[in-house]
């Protein structure tokens, strides 16, 4: 037929898949052999990812003179089996040797023997028996292997038989061994039939399921067996673990190429994993139990900057600090030198000696003056023995006995103390200086039902009550200094009722007027020692 024939092959472009990017010479050199005793039809068209070369068929529409007698099976995948016409541009296509060198394939014998001598410890006897075949299938999916269907088929068949033998020897039931064998046959068929460069039509005709189970429905049967095992996962844990390993290796079955098949496979694989983890949880989350980190040292400045540069910078810094300090010290050196000179003047040093003046204590008649006025004011109470007025050092102390102040265990003053408090306040208003109000108690512990925490607390409250009675008659409320001593400063022994009665008192102290005249109240008057905890004195 001429060149204008629309149905001729001259105007067609045929694309033939060639996985790996290079022509497979072994397929051309090794013609297909019947296996085991059958020959595929000569005119059979096989569609697969890596088709085997079919016998050349002459185009009935073209004369035989157009075909070469000896045609090289190399780079005719773009021309549909015919030699392309010479290019008018004079460009040369890449040579066949360059395409062959682009991908180096691993010989099948190396891939099959890579697992020899490997021991895979496992608590699951079914997975341990299937580990050689699982390792092989994983290597076939990850490596670019020079695939040959017949040797691979024989090897996989022997591994499946070896798996069944190991299971029976380990005490696995025959039914469980059969289900595991079925899962391995289905996985091997599904993975190998979809590898690049295999004789797919040969494996499909003599698949593992066809040889051992006389069936070809691997995609449906696998998931049917999986559903039955998931009905009782505790009993079928070992088989579920094997089938989960098959799914992880790449078994897809009926979901291969189906719409949404990847998502459904992920769901099934996740459900099986969660079922296994519910039965036996992992001890930890480490992916590898024997992982070892690499000791990688980060490149620091010490690897980038030479040592002499660091030493030079340090020297320059020290010199700069030295001159800076020298400048700062020199700025004040003259002033310091002048100060030192003034410490030792050139003139003669005169020693001044103070003249000793002996201290002469001035005697004060107690019947006159401040003490007499106070005693005259409180004469009725002094005669009754409820109030005592005595000079103590630079202070005049007025001791008010509890007989006129409080009931036993109470801090509220008696009503009859009001008149006495008014006379004392009138007298204190005329006397200058601060007024110290200090409460004291005996050593008898308070009852647990008392509203006071301790004798010390009771003494402070009683001093505050006395201060409130005196406060209306004092114009300057800031003169009061209130505190409590509790049982710490007794004036009599606490071993008798009389002694304890004397110790229950409130003391009023004012400075002597002679002391105020000598240096002023603020300088000459020394107040009583503060309470031990430093928080009981109250200044009004």
Q: What is the mean pLDDT of residues 305-328?
A: 91
CA dihedral of residues 285, 286, 288, 291 (deg, nearest 10) = 180
Residue 318 has pLDDT above 90, yes or no: yes
Residue 307: count other Cβ atoms within 10 Å of its Cβ: 8
Q: What is the mean pLDDT of residues 276-298?
A: 73
Residue 192 has pLDDT above 90, yes or no: no
For the chain, the straight-line distance linking the first and the last C-alpha, in angstroms and rounded, comes to 132
Residue 104 has pLDDT above 90, yes or no: no
Res. 364 pLDDT band, cuts 50 70 90: low
CA gap 452, 446 in Å, rounded: 8
Residue 132 has pLDDT above 70, yes or no: yes
* CATH code of domain 108-279: 1.25.40.590
Res. 199 pLDDT band, cuts 50 70 90: low
Mean pLDDT computed over every residue of the chain: 73
Residue 29 has pLDDT above 70, yes or no: no
At residue 28, the pLDDT reads 40
Residue 261 has pLDDT above 80, yes or no: yes
Q: Looking at 31-45, 374-388, 421-435, which range is the least confident one?
A: 31-45
The residue that leads in pLDDT, 338 or 181, is 181
Q: Looking at 92-96, 191-195, 287-291, 463-467, which range is the least confident one?
A: 92-96
CA gap 185, 176 in Å, rounded: 14
The pLDDT tens digits for 148-162 are 778 888 888 899 999
Res. 304 pLDDT band, cuts 50 70 90: confident
At residue 175, the pLDDT reads 93
Pick from 5-9, 44-48, 274-278, 405-409 the range whose average pLDDT is largest: 274-278
**What b/e string do you get for 324-347 counting C-beta neighbours within 10 Å, with b at 16 or more?**
eeeeeeeeeeeeeeeeeeeeeeee
Residue 33 has pLDDT above 70, yes or no: no
The residue that leads in pLDDT, 505 or 197, is 505
Q: Which of 54, 69, 59 is nearest to 12 (CA)?
A: 59
Pick from 211-215, 235-239, 513-517 the range whose average pLDDT is largest: 235-239
Residue 81 has pLDDT above 70, yes or no: no
At residue 123, the pLDDT reads 80
Contact 480, 467 (CB under 8 A): yes
314: exposed, middle or buried (Cβ count in 10 Å: 0-12, 13-18, 19+)? exposed
Q: What is the mean pLDDT of residues 410-415?
A: 84
At residue 317, the pLDDT reads 96
Contact 308, 315 (CB under 8 A): no
Res. 144 pLDDT band, cuts 50 70 90: confident
DSSP tag of 145: B
Where exactly are the structural domains of the chain? 1-103, 108-279, 370-539
- 36 prior amide bond cis, ω within 30: yes
Residue 531 has pLDDT above 60, yes or no: no
At residue 298, the pLDDT reads 63
Q: Looking at 81-90, 117-126, 366-375, which range is the least confident one?
A: 81-90
CA gap 30, 59 in Å, rounded: 25
Res. 312 pLDDT band, cuts 50 70 90: very high
Strand-pairing partners, residue 399, are: 388, 507
Pick from 135-139, 319-323, 396-400 the range whose average pLDDT is largest: 319-323
Res. 178 pLDDT band, cuts 50 70 90: very high
Q: Looking at 12-16, 291-295, 344-348, which range is the least confident one?
A: 12-16
% of the chain exceeding 70 in pLDDT: 68
The pLDDT tens digits for 161-170 are 999 999 999 9
**What b/e string do you get for 224-249 counting C-beta neighbours within 10 Å, with b at 16 or more?**
ebbeebeeeeeebbbbbbbbbbbbeb
The residue that leads in pLDDT, 489 or 33, is 489
Res. 18 pLDDT band, cuts 50 70 90: very low
At residue 519, the pLDDT reads 54
Res. 489 pLDDT band, cuts 50 70 90: confident
* Architecture in CATH of 370-539: 2-Layer Sandwich (3.30)
């Amino acid at each position: 037929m001429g060149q204008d024939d629309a149905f001729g092959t001259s105007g067609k472009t045929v694309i033939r898949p060639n996985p790996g990017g290079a022509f497979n010479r072994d397929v051309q050199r090794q013609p297909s052999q019947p296996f085991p005793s059958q020959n595929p039809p000569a005119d059979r068209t096989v569609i697969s990812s890596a088709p085997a070369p079919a016998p050349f068929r002459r185009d009935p529409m073209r004369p035989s003179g157009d075909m070469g007698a000896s045609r090289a099976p190399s780079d005719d995948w773009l021309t549909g089996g015919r030699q392309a016409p010479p290019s008018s541009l004079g460009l040369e296509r890449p040579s066949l040797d360059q395409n062959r060198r682009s991908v180096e394939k691993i010989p099948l014998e190396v891939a099959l023997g890579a697992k020899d001598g490997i021991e895979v410890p496992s608590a699951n006897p079914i997975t341990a028996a299937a580990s050689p075949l699982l390792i092989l299938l994983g290597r076939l999916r990850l490596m670019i292997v020079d695939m040959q269907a017949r040797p691979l088929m024989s090897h996989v068949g022997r591994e499946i038989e070896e798996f069944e033998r190991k299971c029976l020897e380990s005490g696995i039931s025959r039914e469980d061994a059969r289900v595991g064998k079925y899962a391995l046959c289905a996985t091997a068929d599904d993975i190998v039939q979809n590898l690049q460069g295999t004789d797919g039509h040969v494996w499909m005709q003599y698949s593992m399921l066809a040889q051992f189970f006389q069936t070809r429905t691997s995609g449906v049967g696998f998931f049917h067996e999986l559903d039955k095992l998931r009905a009782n996962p505790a009993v079928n844990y070992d088989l579920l673990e094997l089938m989960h390993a098959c799914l992880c290796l790449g078994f897809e079955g009926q979901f291969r190429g189906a719409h949404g098949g990847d998502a459904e496979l992920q769901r099934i694989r996740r459900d099986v994993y969660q079922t296994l983890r519910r039965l036996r949880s992992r001890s930890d989350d480490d992916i590898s139990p024997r992982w070892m980190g690499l000791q990688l040292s980060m490149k620091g400045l010490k690897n980038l900057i030479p040592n002499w540069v660091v030493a030079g910078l340090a020297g320059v810094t020290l010199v700069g600090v030295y001159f800076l300090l020298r400048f700062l010290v020199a700025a004040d050196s003259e002033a310091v030198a002048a100060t030192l000179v003034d410490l030792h003047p050139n003139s003669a040093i005169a020693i001044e000696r103070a003249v000793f003046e002996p201290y002469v204590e001035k005697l004060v008649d107690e019947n006159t003056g401040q003490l007499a006025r106070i005693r005259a004011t409180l004469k009725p109470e002094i005669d009754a023995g409820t109030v005592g007025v005595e000079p103590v050092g630079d202070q005049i102390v007025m001791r008010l006995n509890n007989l006129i102040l409080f009931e036993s265990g109470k801090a509220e003053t008696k009503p009859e103390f009001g008149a006495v408090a008014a006379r004392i306040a009138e007298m204190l208003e005329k006397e200058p200086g601060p007024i110290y109000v200090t409460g004291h108690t005996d050593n008898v512990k308070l009852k647990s039902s008392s509203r006071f925490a301790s004798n010390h607390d009771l003494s402070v409250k009683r001093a505050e009550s006395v201060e409130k009675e005196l406060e209306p008659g004092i114009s300057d409320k800031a003169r009061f200094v209130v505190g409590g001593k509790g049982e710490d400063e007794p004036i009599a022994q606490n071993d008798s009722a009389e002694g304890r009665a004397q110790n229950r008192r409130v003391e009023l102290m004012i400075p002597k007027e002679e002391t105020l005249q000598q240096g002023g109240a603020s300088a000459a008057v020394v107040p009583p020692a503060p309470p031990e905890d430093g928080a009981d004195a109250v200044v009004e």
